[in-house]
């Protein structure tokens, strides 16, 4: 039996993780700034998450949402302290793409409209609905026709927002575009987008699957922009490593949904609820978002100090502990050199090195990572100028 590799193989067998570190089969330690594309933001094997999962395993593992459980009540209480503002309702699912699917379906039902607006370079998932609002044609074209109509506008371009009209059911946006290269939205753009959607009666969906749950220095990345969206999707870090996602909704939308409008066999299972409970407690009690803000500021400074003189570096950008190093060349060599040096990072877009470390990283970790990335960039530069 062979496992189909739909992601590139890094040639590394990981056998253990703890906090911000993982170890390979030979006992070599790595600083993990890949974190399963941002999932392990609360660290590998977070003690609170493990405690809640183990406790739940000893009670009941799987159960339909038709039945209530004690962990459901505990989860709702924990989520209440970290939820997006004015959103007292949540639907639990299994993955980010499922949360996006639920958001798109909800928007169409609530507005009675069909058209969805997304943005160029956006990534929202790989199932048919989420894929239809994902920009990269390499992902989309083999599977078309997808859900339509969908119109893609220029990200951070206020003038393009005039194309959002009275036929638009929803606009979906990442407050920080992750897959395309860690590109933060501009404040004036997000405010204009909110004003435009309100004017035409379209719902504003903010996709926080990667940027949300404390990573950018706020609990939710949209909070950087002084707006309130209509729907918020979450995933990755929200389960502390356990597969779970969420769609948050205000009362005025939730009250219009009916039994059968959406569903998932495993969505909101007791184990997922235990994971969300634990992760929410960690986020709230340890003020994870505040740590991410301060550590992100420090990490950006270290990276600029150590990489700023390199000709291959165009820009270092991001928010909190969601950081991108935009280079003049594809980053494959740098990723390999960093891995050999004991640092795991990943690619975004065509030329960006993406860093998604856990919130407990130290200054020593940051220095080590910056040095490893520098060596990779220097090797890239030397190979580019070699005859």
Which backbone phi and psi does 47 adopt, to 5 degrees? Answer: -60, -40
Ligand-binding site membership of 119 (annotated): no
The reply to whether 208 sits in an annotated binding site is: yes
pLDDT at 383 over 90: no
Residue 213 annotated as lining a ligand binding site? no
Q: Coil, strand, or helix at residue 213?
A: coil
> Residues for the chain: how many in total?
387
Q: Which domains are present in the chain?
A: 14-32+287-385 (3.90.1150.10), 47-285 (3.40.640.10)
Mean pLDDT value across the chain: 97
Q: Is 251 part of any known ligand binding site?
A: no
In Å, how far are 144, 300, 371 from 305, measured between CA atoms? Answer: 46, 9, 11
pLDDT of residue 7: 87
Model pLDDT, residue 5: 87
363 is known to lie in a ligand binding site: no
| 329 known ligand binder | no
State what percent of residues in the chain have pLDDT above 70: 99
Task: Write down the pLDDT at residue 255.
Answer: 97
Which pLDDT tens digit goes with each residue over 104-123?
A: 999 999 999 999 999 999 99
Q: Does the annotation flag 265 for ligand binding?
A: yes
Neighbours of 340 (CB within 10 A): 12
Residue 387 pLDDT: 43
Give the sign of the dihedral formed by CA 86, CA 89, CA 94, CA 96.
negative
Determine whether the annotation assigns residue 126 to a binding site.
Answer: yes
For residue 67, pLDDT over 70 is answered with yes
The confidence score (pLDDT) of residue 118 equals 98
Is 150 labelled as part of a ligand binding site? no
Q: pLDDT tens digits for 307-350?
A: 999 999 999 999 999 999 999 999 999 999 999 999 999 999 99
Contact between 178 and 146 under an 8 Å Cβ cutoff? The reply is no
Asked whether residue 207 is marked as a ligand-binding residue, the answer is: yes
Question: Residue 385: which pLDDT band, with cuts at 50, 70 and 90?
Answer: low
Structure tokens at 295: 């550590």
- State what percent of residues in the chain have pLDDT above 90: 97
């Amino acid at each position: 039996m062979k496992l189909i590799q739909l992601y590139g193989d890094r040639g590394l067998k990981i056998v253990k993780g703890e906090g911000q570190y993982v170890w390979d089969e030979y006992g070599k330690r790595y600083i993990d700034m890949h974190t399963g594309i941002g999932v392990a933001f609360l660290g590998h094997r977070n003690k609170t998450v493990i405690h809640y999962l183990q406790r739940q395993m000893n009670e009941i593992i799987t159960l339909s949402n038709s039945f209530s459980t004690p962990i459901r009540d505990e989860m709702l209480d924990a989520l209440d302290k970290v939820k997006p503002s004015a959103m007292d309702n949540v639907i639990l699912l299994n993955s980010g793409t499922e949360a996006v699917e639920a958001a798109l379906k909800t928007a169409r039902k609530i507005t009675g409209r069909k058209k969805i607006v997304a943005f160029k370079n956006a990534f929202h998932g790989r199932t048919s609905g989420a894929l239809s609002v994902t920009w990269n044609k390499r992902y989309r074209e083999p599977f078309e026709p997808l859900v339509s109509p969908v119109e893609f506008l220029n990200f951070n371009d206020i003038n393009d927002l005039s194309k959002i009209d009275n036929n638009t059911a929803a606009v979906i946006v990442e407050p920080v575009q992750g897959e395309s290269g860690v590109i933060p939205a501009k404040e004036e753009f997000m405010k204009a987008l909110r004003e435009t959607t309100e004017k035409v009666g379209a719902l504003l969906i903010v996709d926080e699957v990667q940027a949300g749950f404390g990573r950018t220095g706020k609990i939710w990345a949209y909070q950087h922009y002084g707006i309130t969206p209509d729907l918020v999707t979450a995933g990755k870090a929200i389960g502390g490593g356990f597969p779970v996602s969420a769609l948050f909704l205000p009362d005025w939308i939730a009250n219009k949904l009916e039994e059968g409008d959406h569903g998932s066999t495993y969505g909101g299972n007791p184990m997922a609820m235990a994971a969300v409970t634990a992760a929410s407690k960690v986020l709230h009690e340890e003020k994870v978002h505040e740590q991410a803000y301060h550590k992100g500021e420090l990490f950006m400074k270290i990276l600029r100090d150590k990489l700023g003189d390199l000709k291959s570096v165009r820009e270092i950008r991001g928010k909190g502990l969601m950081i991108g190093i935009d280079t003049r060349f594809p980053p494959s060599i740098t990723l390999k050199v960093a891995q050999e040096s004991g640092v795991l990072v990943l690619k975004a877009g065509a030329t960006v090195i993406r860093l998604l470390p856990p919130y407990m990283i130290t200054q020593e970790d940051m220095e080590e990572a910056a040095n490893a990335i520098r060596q990779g960039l220097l090797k890239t530069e030397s190979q580019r100028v070699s005859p």
